[in-house]
């Protein structure tokens, strides 16, 4: 087995910098190394020591570039790739004007496959090695996404979006077909290679109580699966939920009463939460997913990151493409910082990097498997050039420490900042070249 030794500045974590002093949990080495054996990381340490211990390893020296775990996007919609950055609508109008007409096309397996491949390649170009995606009601859309990810050997989470009301006729299933299709798809894909299935009601307004009941029953039968949905994204949406479920205590209760609240639940946005909802999410160990570019682009509100962290909630970071306005987790980190500032909190660069890697992996119940620069983790790695543009370079040259050097890349970086990508121990550019038509 060939050993690969990557040299550069290395950044990892021993704990959560949102709930501990960041200086106590950061693992940084300005002359570090990452040893890869097969598809996993086997050692992380000082470059000199690793060179001596493993003289046979093939060395890739990135100089002063920063070696990090690959970014993990905890919530997005790959079928919305083609409508990203569409103008001028808030949530419900945006769904009706842009999202639903585009999603109707995904019964065409050729079209679904083309968009799935494009989405994954765009994500990789921005340093994202894991995506968590809603698909459409069409089983073909799910097959296309998982197949494209398998072709790239990427760790992904996805599921068939289920809707049986308040959606166009060509995007509705039924309680029974949602159960049957989701069960067949999870039996086909969950645990196949690096694929993880998430049972996926879009949100409670587009599912009848009968469909929510059926999906809750399916989750109880297949408890190793994740469940993903949306929660408390906009105030008009919350008012609509109250009209549709007049007996519910709050928005979260429209899931809880149907068996759709649990430790492996992923709740996107979660901006306007009530005290009971926060307490219940924390009690069961569920995850809320911060989608900052979407929350500002669609005008949803300001996520309370530090408050929810203090309440002991698991928190992941996500692009929410295409409601989110960027495929880049760097841009998403920058937006999280900006929202923090509006709430009176200046997030530290280490906290932002943790959210985009270990935090999102923990939310997906994949902590230690992805999103981590530590022995035993899959070798999904992103290498950042901290001087990728002239604007960033002139600022980073004045840096006093790694955080001063990294922060300009978080705030101004784009795909040019991605020096390299490794997927399951294989350099992505090498793998792409080997699979290109001859």
Residue 312 sits in a domain whose CATH number is: 3.20.20.140
Dihedral angle over CA of 421, 360, 99, 278, nearest 10: -170
Close Cβ partners of 151 (under 8 Å, ≥ 6 residues apart): 117
**Pair (76, 141) in one structural domain:** yes
For residue 64, the domain's CATH number is: 2.30.40.10
**Pair (249, 393) in one structural domain:** no
Angle at 127 between CA 265 and CA 347, to 5 degrees: 65
Q: How many domains does the chain have?
A: 2
What tokens were used for 416? Answer: 């040019």
**Pair (336, 295) in one structural domain:** yes
Close Cβ partners of 6 (under 8 Å, ≥ 6 residues apart): 33, 34, 36, 60, 62, 67, 381, 383, 422
Last residue of a domain, one of 345, 363, 381: 363
Question: How far, in Å, are 16, 51, 353, 356, 369 from residue 13 at the CA level?
Answer: 7, 23, 10, 12, 14
Q: Around Cβ 71, how many Cβ atoms within 10 Å?
A: 31
Give the tens place of pLDDT for each residue, 44-91. Answer: 999 999 999 999 999 999 999 999 999 999 999 999 999 898 887 777
- Per residue of the chain (438 residues), what is the pLDDT tens digit? 789 999 999 999 999 999 999 999 999 999 999 999 999 999 999 999 999 999 999 999 999 999 999 999 999 999 999 989 888 777 778 788 888 889 999 999 999 999 999 999 999 999 999 999 999 999 999 999 999 999 999 999 999 999 999 999 999 999 999 999 999 999 999 999 999 999 999 999 999 999 999 999 999 999 999 999 999 999 999 999 999 999 999 999 999 999 999 999 999 999 999 999 999 999 999 999 999 999 998 899 999 999 999 999 999 999 999 888 999 999 999 999 999 999 999 999 999 999 999 999 999 999 999 999 999 999 999 999 999 999 999 999 999 999 999 999 999 999 999 999 999 999 998 766 666 544
**Pair (290, 225) in one structural domain:** yes
**Pair (32, 179) in one structural domain:** no
Q: Give the domain range for residue 385.
A: 3-70+372-435
Are 263 and 285 within 8 A, CB to CB? yes
**Pair (337, 392) in one structural domain:** no
**Pair (128, 82) in one structural domain:** yes
User: Is 178 strand, coil or helix?
Assistant: helix
**Pair (397, 352) in one structural domain:** no
**Pair (38, 78) in one structural domain:** no
The structure's pTM equals 0.96
């Amino acid at each position: 087995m060939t050993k690969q030794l990557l040299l550069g500045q290395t950044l990892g974590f021993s704990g959560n910098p949102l709930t501990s002093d960041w200086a106590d949990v950061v693992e940084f080495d300005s002359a570090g190394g990452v040893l890869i054996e097969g598809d996993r990381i086997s050692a992380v340490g000082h470059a000199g020591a690793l060179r001596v211990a493993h003289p046979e390893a093939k060395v890739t020296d990135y100089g002063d570039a920063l070696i990090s775990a690959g970014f993990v996007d905890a919530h997005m919609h790959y079928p919305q790739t083609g409508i990203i950055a569409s103008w001028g609508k808030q949530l419900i109008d945006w769904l009706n004007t842009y999202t639903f007409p585009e999603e109707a096309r995904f019964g065409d397996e050729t079209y679904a496959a083309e968009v799935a491949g494009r989405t994954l390649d765009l994500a990789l170009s921005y340093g994202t090695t894991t995506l968590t995606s809603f698909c459409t009601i069409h089983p073909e859309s799910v097959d296309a996404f998982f197949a494209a990810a398998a072709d790239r050997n990427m760790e992904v989470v996805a599921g068939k979006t289920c809707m049986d009301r308040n959606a166009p006729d060509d995007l509705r299933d039924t309680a029974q077909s949602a159960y049957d299709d989701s069960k067949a798809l999870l039996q086909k894909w969950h645990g196949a290679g690096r694929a993880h299935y998430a049972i996926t009601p879009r949100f409670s307004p587009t599912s009848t109580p009968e469909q929510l009941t059926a999906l809750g029953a399916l989750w109880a039968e297949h408890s190793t699966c994740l469940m993903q949905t949306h929660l408390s994204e906009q105030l008009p949406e919350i008012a609509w939920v109250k009209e549709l479920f007049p007996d519910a205590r709050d928005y979260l209760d429209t899931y809880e009463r149907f068996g759709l609240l649990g430790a492996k639940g992923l709740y996107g946005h979660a901006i306007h939460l009530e005290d009971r909802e926060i307490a219940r999410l924390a009690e069961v160990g569920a995850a809320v997913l911060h989608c900052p570019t979407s929350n500002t682009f669609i005008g949803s509100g300001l996520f309370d990151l530090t408050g929810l962290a203090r309440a002991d909630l698991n928190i992941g970071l996500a692009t929410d493409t295409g409601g989110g306005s960027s495929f880049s987790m760097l841009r998403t980190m920058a937006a999280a910082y900006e929202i923090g500032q509006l709430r009176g909190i200046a997030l530290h660069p280490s906290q932002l990097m943790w959210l985009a890697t270990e935090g999102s992996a923990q939310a997906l119940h994949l902590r230690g498997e992805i999103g981590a620069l530590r022995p035993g983790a899959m070798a999904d790695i992103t290498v950042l050039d901290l001087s990728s543009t002239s604007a960033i370079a002139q600022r980073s040259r004045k840096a006093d420490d790694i955080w001063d050097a990294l922060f300009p890349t978080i705030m101004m970086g784009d795909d040019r900042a991605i020096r390299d990508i490794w997927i399951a121990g294989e350099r992505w550019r090498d793998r792409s070249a080997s699979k290109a038509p001859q």
